[in-house]
Every structure is written in C-alpha cells, then in structure tokens.
Amino acid sequence: MTVDTVVFDVLGTLVDQVGGLREVVAGRVPDVEVAVARWQEHVAAEHRRVVAGERPYVPADVLDREAAREVLGEDPPAAAAVTGRLHAWPDAATLLDELAASHEVVALSNADHTTLLRLSAHAGLRWHAAISTEAVRSYKPDPAVYRLAIERVSRPPGRVLMVAAHAWDLRAARAAGMRTAFLDRPGADAPAPDDRFDHHLAGADELVALLG
C-alpha cells in the first residue's frame, strides 16, 4: 500500500477519551459508566444535529458543558477543558514519532483548534498538521470534513490513510476515497460484518509494520 499521508482521528484513537470523562464525573454520580455513556450520547446526538443542519455549529467545549449539565446537574470548571487534558494511549506518542519519520502525519478531530493545541502539549502528541472540523463549522462524519482533509494535504485520496478506532468515522473516510485502517482500542466502535476497510489492526505496532 502506497501512502503519503496518515490521518489520525484523535479522540478515542490517540487519547483515552472515556478515561478522561470518568475523571470528570467520578465522585459526583452513583454510576460512573452510565454517566459517561450519557455524556457521550449527548455530544454524539448534537454532532448529528449539526451535520443535519438542525442546529447551528457550536464548538465542542460548548457541547461538553451541555453534557455536564445534563449528566451532573452542574457545569463543573473541568467540563469545558476535559478534551484538552486527556491522556494519550501508552503507544500513541511513539507511533506518531515513528510514522513521522517517513510519512506526513495529520490529526483530524472534532475538537476545536485551540483544544488540539492544548491536547498536543498535554498528551505529548506531535503531528505535522492538525485539522479541526471547526474549519467547516461541522462535525465528523460530515463529508465536508474529509474533503477538507484531502484538500489540505493536497494528495490523491487513495494515497491518504485514515486511521481511527471508530467504524463510523472510517465509513465516511472510505466514502471520500481515502484508504482506511481500523485501530482497535478499549471501547472502540468496532466494524460491522459488512464493513470493508483496508486494514483491521490490533495495535500500533501493526500499523508501523504495515507502513514500513
């Protein structure tokens, strides 16, 4: 497989989003896992509304505040900043460093540009470029997001590999003509039996080996 650019989803793929949400709600609710699920469901539902044109675009930190009020009944100071303080998966920093020696490495995220800056610094993640869905005032899986990524890297889509732990993300990338690799992570949105992604990877080492 000839690939010039590797585009990574960030939340859940490079950083432990669920773990960060657990830290925010811990000690405030009787059932942490239920609270985290409700938080994620609220954000995902609002993403869908924005993509469908049912709601004007608002930055991701606004949606986190809304989720905090819905789940906790309050707006804790940590809510809006939770994404920028997420911890990287143990293999993520090394993965990016190794691939960056031979490929263009790009982050493509629903987090806004400022949050991606904070996250890169906090989690020790380095990429050649970071693209936020904020640039098109929408969220993944809006096709405009993937078109933007292809335009920004100025490569044929077939030479761009999208890596994500979310099957829904990869379906949209595949529809845009990008190559796709599912990277299994705890709590990942696993591919359905009829998904046809180019690769299904059990870990970061498999991705490094794949790209040589």
178-183 average pLDDT score: 98
Cα-flanking dihedrals φ and ψ of residue 99, to 5°?
A: -70, -35
Residue 10 burial by Cβ neighbours in a 10 Å radius (0-12, 13-18, 19+) = buried
Query: Residue 1: what pLDDT?
Result: 67
64-71 average pLDDT score: 93
d(CA 95, CA 106): 13
Q: 15-41, pLDDT tens digit by residue?
A: 999 999 999 999 999 999 999 999 999
Q: What percentage of residues in the chain have a pLDDT greater than 70?
A: 100
Query: Residue 171: what pLDDT?
Result: 98
d(CA 207, CA 132): 23
Domain count, the chain: 2
179 and 128 in a common domain: yes
74 and 163 in a common domain: no
173 and 119 in a common domain: yes
Core vs surface per residue 25-37: b (16+ CB within 10 A) or e: beeeeeebeebbe
Assess contact for 206 and 190: CB atoms under 8 A.
no
Residue 200 burial by Cβ neighbours in a 10 Å radius (0-12, 13-18, 19+) = middle
Query: Residue 107: what pLDDT?
Result: 98
Q: 95-124, pLDDT tens digit by residue?
A: 999 999 999 999 999 999 999 999 999 999
CATH of the domain at 51: 1.10.150
pLDDT band at 212 (very low <50, low <70, confident <90, very high): confident
98 and 59 in a common domain: no
Chain center to CA of 202: 18
63 and 143 in a common domain: no
CB atoms within 10 A of CB 121: 11
pTM of structure: 0.95
- Residue 131 CB-half CA count within 13 A: 24
d(CA 110, CA 197): 21
198 and 120 in a common domain: yes
Supply the range of the domain harboring residue 31.
Answer: 17-84
Dihedral of CA atoms 180, 207, 134, 23 in degrees, nearest 10, equals 120
Query: Residue 178: what pLDDT?
Result: 98
76 and 97 in a common domain: no
127 and 97 in a common domain: yes
162 and 63 in a common domain: no
Identify whether 193 is preceded by a cis peptide bond (ω within 30 of 0).
no
Q: 127-158, pLDDT tens digit by residue?
A: 999 999 999 999 999 999 999 999 999 999 99
Three-class secondary structure of residue 120 per DSSP: helix
74-82 average pLDDT score: 79
Q: What percentage of residues in the chain have a pLDDT greater than 90?
A: 92
Give yes or no for residue 52 having a pLDDT over 90: yes
